[in-house]
Chains A and B, each alone.
Chain A
Amino acid sequence: MKLKLNKKAITRMQGILIVVILVVIAVVGGYYITLPPPKKGKLVIDWWYESSGHYPQSADQAAVYKSQLEKTGLITVNLHGADWPSYKKNRDAHSMQAFVYGWYPDYIDPDDYIQPFLDSVGGGWLGAGYNNTEMDSLIAQARSNFDPTQRAQLYAKIQDIMVKDAPLIPVFQGYGWAVTKPDVTGVSLDVTQNMYFWLITPPAGKDTLIFGTTDSIETSLDPAELWDYFGAEMTLNLGAALVYIKPGSSAGPNDFIPGLATKWSVSPDGLTYTFDLKEGLKFSDGAPFTAATVKYSFDRNLALAMPDGPQLGLGYGDLIASVAAPSDYQVVFTLKHPFAPFMALMAFSGSFIVNPKRAPNTPGQAVEWKDGDSTASNPNDLGPYLLTEWTRKGGKDYEMKLDVNPNYWGIADGYPKAKHIIMKFYSDATALALAMKSGDIDMAYRQLASSDIKSMQSDPSLKVWKGPGLIQYVVLQERMPPFDNPKARQAIAAALDRKELVNTVFLGNASPLYSMIPNGMAFQTDGFKTLGDGNTTLSVSLLQELGYG
Chain B
Amino acid sequence: MENERPRGRILVQFLPSLTGLTRRGLAGWAILIGFVIVAAMAIMTIISPWISPYNPIGINVGPILSPPSRAYPLGTNHLGQDMLSRVYSGGTVMFEVAILSVIVCIVIGVPIGLFASYTGGYTDKATSLVMDSIYAFPGLVLAIAIAAMLGPGVVNMALSIAVVYVPSYFRIIRSQVLTIKELPYVEAAHMMGANSRNTLFSYILPNVIPSIVAVATINFADAILTSAGLTFVGLGLPVSTPDWGWDLTYGRRLLTSGAWWVIAFPGLMVVLLALGFTLMGEGLSELFNPRLQK
Stretch at the interface among A17-25, A258-266, A334-342, A486-494: A17-25
Asked if A28 and B234 make an inter-chain contact with CB atoms under 8 angstroms apart, the answer reads no
The smallest C-beta distance from B12 to any residue of chain A, in angstroms, reads 9
Chain B residues near A19: list those with CB within 8 A: 11, 14
B209's partner among A17, A28, A449 (CB-CB below 8 A) is: A17
* Among A16, A23, A64: residue with most chain B CB under 10 A: A16
Asked if B79 and A451 make an inter-chain contact with CB atoms under 8 angstroms apart, the answer reads no
Looking at chain A's contact residues, the main secondary structure is: helix
Within 8 A of A (CB), among B184-212: 185, 206-207, 209-210
Asked if B99 and A430 make an inter-chain contact with CB atoms under 8 angstroms apart, the answer reads no
Cα of A205 to Cα of B208 in the assembled complex, Å: 72
Is A278 interfacial (CB-CB < 8 Å)? Answer: no
Q: A23-B42, A59-B250 are in contact. Are A10 and B239 (CB under 8 A)?
A: no
Asked if B99 and A24 make an inter-chain contact with CB atoms under 8 angstroms apart, the answer reads yes
Chain A residues near B133: list those with CB within 8 A: none
Asked if A11 and B17 make an inter-chain contact with CB atoms under 8 angstroms apart, the answer reads yes
Asked if B253 and A428 make an inter-chain contact with CB atoms under 8 angstroms apart, the answer reads yes
Chain B residues near A11: list those with CB within 8 A: 5, 10, 13, 17
Within 8 A of A (CB), among B112-167: none
The smallest C-beta distance from A447 to any residue of chain B, in angstroms, reads 11
User: Contact mask A101-138 → B, CB, 8 Å, 1/0?
Assistant: 00000000000000000000000000000000000000
For the complex of A and B, list the 9 residue pairs with the smallest distance between their C-beta atoms, beginning with the closest.
Answer: A15-B14, A30-B46, A451-B257, A67-B59, A34-B49, A12-B17, A9-B210, A433-B256, A455-B257
Within 8 A of A (CB), among B231-266: 234, 238-240, 250, 252-259
Q: Which residue of A lies closest to B50 (CB)?
A: A34
The smallest C-beta distance from A291 to any residue of chain B, in angstroms, reads 51
A452's partner among B17, B92, B209, B257 (CB-CB below 8 A) is: B257
How many residues of chain A get a CB closer than 8 Å to chain B's CBs?
Answer: 57
Q: A30-B46, A31-B96, A428-B253 are in contact. Are A6 and B234 (CB under 8 A)?
A: no
Asked if A437 and B11 make an inter-chain contact with CB atoms under 8 angstroms apart, the answer reads no
Cα of A83 to Cα of B259 in the assembled complex, Å: 26
Chain B residues near A507: list those with CB within 8 A: 64
Is B213 interfacial (CB-CB < 8 Å)? Answer: yes
Within 8 A of B (CB), among A1-44: 3, 5-7, 9-20, 23-24, 26-28, 30-31, 34
Asked if B39 and A63 make an inter-chain contact with CB atoms under 8 angstroms apart, the answer reads no
Cα of A511 to Cα of B58 in the assembled complex, Å: 23
Cα of A434 to Cα of B253 in the assembled complex, Å: 10
The smallest C-beta distance from A426 to any residue of chain B, in angstroms, reads 12
Asked if A27 and B45 make an inter-chain contact with CB atoms under 8 angstroms apart, the answer reads yes
Cα of A504 to Cα of B258 in the assembled complex, Å: 18
Chain B residues near A9: list those with CB within 8 A: 209-210, 287-288
Is B71 interfacial (CB-CB < 8 Å)? Answer: no
Is B60 interfacial (CB-CB < 8 Å)? Answer: yes
Cα of A12 to Cα of B39 in the assembled complex, Å: 17
Cα of A19 to Cα of B280 in the assembled complex, Å: 14
Asked if A67 and B57 make an inter-chain contact with CB atoms under 8 angstroms apart, the answer reads yes
Chain B residues near A437: list those with CB within 8 A: 256
Cα of A173 to Cα of B66 in the assembled complex, Å: 26
Cα of A62 to Cα of B65 in the assembled complex, Å: 18
The 21 listed contacts between A and B (C-beta, < 8 Å) are A6-B207, A10-B207, A11-B17, A13-B209, A14-B10, A15-B13, A15-B14, A17-B213, A27-B96, A28-B96, A51-B234, A52-B234, A60-B78, A60-B79, A63-B79, A68-B59, A428-B253, A452-B257, A454-B257, A500-B59, A504-B79
Chain A residues near B45: list those with CB within 8 A: 27, 30-31
Cα of A49 to Cα of B14 in the assembled complex, Å: 50
Chain A residues near B99: list those with CB within 8 A: 24, 27-28
Cα of A373 to Cα of B257 in the assembled complex, Å: 40
Within 8 A of B (CB), among A272-324: none
How many residues of chain B get a CB closer than 8 Å to chain A's CBs?
Answer: 51
Chain B residues near A68: list those with CB within 8 A: 59
Asked if A27 and B14 make an inter-chain contact with CB atoms under 8 angstroms apart, the answer reads no
Cα of A434 to Cα of B17 in the assembled complex, Å: 52
Is A79 interfacial (CB-CB < 8 Å)? Answer: yes
Asked if B79 and A81 make an inter-chain contact with CB atoms under 8 angstroms apart, the answer reads no
Within 8 A of B (CB), among A410-468: 428-430, 433-434, 437, 449, 451-452, 454-456
Chain B residues near A51: list those with CB within 8 A: 234, 238
Cα of A429 to Cα of B17 in the assembled complex, Å: 53
The smallest C-beta distance from B150 to any residue of chain A, in angstroms, reads 15
Is B4 interfacial (CB-CB < 8 Å)? Answer: no
User: Contact mask A340-375 → B, CB, 8 Å, 1/0?
Assistant: 000000000000000000000000000000000000
Asked if B239 and A81 make an inter-chain contact with CB atoms under 8 angstroms apart, the answer reads yes
A13's partner among B20, B42, B60, B210 (CB-CB below 8 A) is: B210
The smallest C-beta distance from A546 to any residue of chain B, in angstroms, reads 24
Cα of A51 to Cα of B253 in the assembled complex, Å: 13
Cα of A285 to Cα of B79 in the assembled complex, Å: 54
Cα of A78 to Cα of B57 in the assembled complex, Å: 13
User: Contact mask B26-50 → A, CB, 8 Å, 1/0?
Assistant: 0000000001001100100111010
Chain A residues near B252: list those with CB within 8 A: 430
Q: Which residue of B lies closest to A8 (CB)?
A: B17
Q: A11-B10, A13-B210 are in contact. Are A455 and B258 (CB under 8 A)?
A: yes
Asked if B14 and A79 make an inter-chain contact with CB atoms under 8 angstroms apart, the answer reads no
Chain B residues near A14: list those with CB within 8 A: 10, 209
Asked if A15 and B17 make an inter-chain contact with CB atoms under 8 angstroms apart, the answer reads yes
Chain A residues near B287: list those with CB within 8 A: 9
Having A62-B239, A67-B59, A505-B78, one finds 15 other A-B pairs with CB under 8 Å, namely A3-B183, A11-B10, A15-B13, A15-B17, A23-B38, A64-B59, A67-B58, A77-B240, A78-B240, A83-B234, A430-B253, A430-B256, A451-B256, A452-B256, A456-B256
Chain A residues near B20: list those with CB within 8 A: 12
* Among B11, B58, B60, B78: residue with most chain A CB under 10 A: B78
Cα of A17 to Cα of B211 in the assembled complex, Å: 12
Chain B residues near A54: list those with CB within 8 A: none
Cα of A78 to Cα of B287 in the assembled complex, Å: 48
Chain A residues near B17: list those with CB within 8 A: 11-12, 15-16
B11's partner among A15, A449, A504 (CB-CB below 8 A) is: A15
The smallest C-beta distance from A225 to any residue of chain B, in angstroms, reads 28
Is A66 interfacial (CB-CB < 8 Å)? Answer: yes
Asked if B234 and A434 make an inter-chain contact with CB atoms under 8 angstroms apart, the answer reads no
Cα of A455 to Cα of B255 in the assembled complex, Å: 10
Is A157 interfacial (CB-CB < 8 Å)? Answer: no
Cα of A62 to Cα of B238 in the assembled complex, Å: 10
Q: Which residue of B lies closest to A83 (CB)?
A: B234
Chain A residues near B79: list those with CB within 8 A: 60, 63-64, 504-505
Asked if B253 and A18 make an inter-chain contact with CB atoms under 8 angstroms apart, the answer reads no
Q: Which residue of B lies closest to A71 (CB)?
A: B59
Chain A residues near B2: list those with CB within 8 A: 7, 10
Q: Which residue of B lies closest to A12 (CB)?
A: B17
Asked if A59 and B239 make an inter-chain contact with CB atoms under 8 angstroms apart, the answer reads yes
Q: Which residue of A lies closest to B255 (CB)?
A: A430
Asked if A31 and B64 make an inter-chain contact with CB atoms under 8 angstroms apart, the answer reads no
Is A88 interfacial (CB-CB < 8 Å)? Answer: no
The smallest C-beta distance from A59 to any residue of chain B, in angstroms, reads 5
Q: A9-B287, A62-B239, A504-B60 are in contact. Are A455 and B256 (CB under 8 A)?
A: yes
